Amino acid sequence: MSFSRNSKEELLQIEYSDDSCAIAFMSGLFHSCGEISKVGSKLYIKVVSDVEKLFSYIENLVKRFFGDEVTPEISENYNINKNTYYEISFEVEKFRRLLVDTGVVTFADGGVSINFSLDKNLLLEDEPRRAFIRGVYIGSSTSSIKLSSDAAQSCGSGYHLEFNSQSHEFLIEFSSLLAEYNIIGKIFERKNSFVLYIKDVNTIQDLLALMGANNSVLALSNEIVTRELRNKVNRQVNCINANINKTVEASLKQTNAINTIINTIGLESLPEDLQEVAVLRLANPEESLDELLKLSTIKLTRSGLNHRFRKLIKIASELEEI
């Protein structure tokens, strides 16, 4: 299961003790993923989501308003990219009071109008605000975050969370609401919709904590540590490999130079100090300079040993030119 789905299902475990939070949650849900449609002479507000648990959650909230007299219609009729999407429909006339209380519709002059702006009266207190943000998050957020602990997915390299909406006005007001909690995002237009996105992982953590998704905050914290550790190990491995390659290339160059000398004038023609270094390298072709110093019977510094190898390479180069 994805990080995004896990965080949404965690939020659906939160129960509301008063109607103001329940109404604020439904308002956030309607504003973020509600669609209006007309079937015959009846108007419906529809909510579509791939989070199946959302619909039993909504049913329980609706019962608090209407008891068992009126229930929303639920259907399973979307299959996209192997994901099943569920649709819950609210007939406008039957759910008039709920839709008005959530600030989604206005009834006037015998007609119905849709409200895209937030109802400020619902968001006067902190707890209803958090409930509203939860509704928006569950209704319209998507995330590219993948956890390293999930073997079924390849871990991503970044952190990205976004809210999608057809209403620019709604996203601007929602962005302002998040900004009151120091959660800052950016809005841009994508094709025929608008997107509010957050790429800073600390800000995403703050948002999850604000909504009460504590397990998701912990999972994301673990992911940050895991990625940092993996990146550190990768850097160390790359550094080690680079040093190994450098050692191999230097050893090969030195060995080739020594073989050139052997095949032309012979090692015995070299000064004794260079003979010793040449024999040491031929006997230990894969060792680094530091390891050669440990194996050497003569007292040399690293720079001194390297200087003698440069002499051997220069002699071999001159012999090749001749």
pLDDT at residue number 151: 43
* CATH code of the region 3-212: 3.10.28.10
**Cβ atoms of 12 and 55 closer than 8 Å:** no
- C-alpha to C-alpha distances, 211 to 139, 201, 258, nearest whole angstrom: 14, 16, 70
Backbone angles phi, psi at 34, to 5 degrees: -75, 145
Q: What is the mean pLDDT of the chain?
A: 84
155 pLDDT higher than 70: no
Does residue 180 have a pLDDT over 70?
Answer: yes
CA dihedral 78, 79, 84, 87 (to 10 degrees): 0
DSSP per residue over 165-222, as a string? ES-HHHHHHHHHHHHTTT---EEEEETTEEEEEE--HHHHHHHHHHHT-HHHHHHHHH
The answer to whether residue 178 scores a pLDDT higher than 80 is yes
What pLDDT was estimated at residue 175?
93
The more confident residue out of 11 and 17 is: 11
Task: Identify the DSSP state of 70.
Answer: -
**Stretch 244-266: mean pLDDT:** 86
Alpha carbon distance 319, 311 (integer Å):
12
Overall average pLDDT of the 208-234 stretch: 88
Q: What pLDDT, in 10s, does the model give residues 189-212?
A: 888 889 999 998 999 999 999 999
Two tokens at 261? 């000398």
| Comma-separated ranges of CATH 3.10.28.10 domains in the chain | 3-212
Say what the pLDDT of residue 66 is: 67
**For position 82, what pLDDT does the model report?**
67
pTM, two decimal places:
0.73
Most confident of 76-85, 178-187, 284-293: 178-187
For residue 1, pLDDT over 70 is answered with no
* Pairing outcome for strands 141-143 and 83-91: unpaired
For residues 71 and 279, which has the higher predicted lDDT (pLDDT)? 279
* Model pLDDT, residue 152: 44
Nearest to residue 142, comparing CAs of 13, 51, 52, 80? Answer: 51
Share of the chain above pLDDT 90, in %: 24
Q: What is the pLDDT of residues 290-302, one digit of tens each?
A: 888 888 777 788 8
Distances (CA, A) of 261 to 167, 250, 267, 286, 309: 79, 17, 6, 20, 12
- Exposure string of 91-102, with b = 16+ CB inside 10 Å and e = fewer, is bbebbeebbebb
Each residue's pLDDT tens digit, 66-105 = 666 556 666 666 565 567 777 888 888 888 888 888 888 8
pLDDT digits (tens, 9 = 90+) for 105-146: 887 776 777 787 888 888 999 999 999 999 999 998 988 888
What's the DSSP call for residue 268? Answer: G
pLDDT in tens, 23-70: 999 999 998 888 877 777 778 888 888 888 888 888 888 887 666 655
Give pLDDT, residue 153: 46
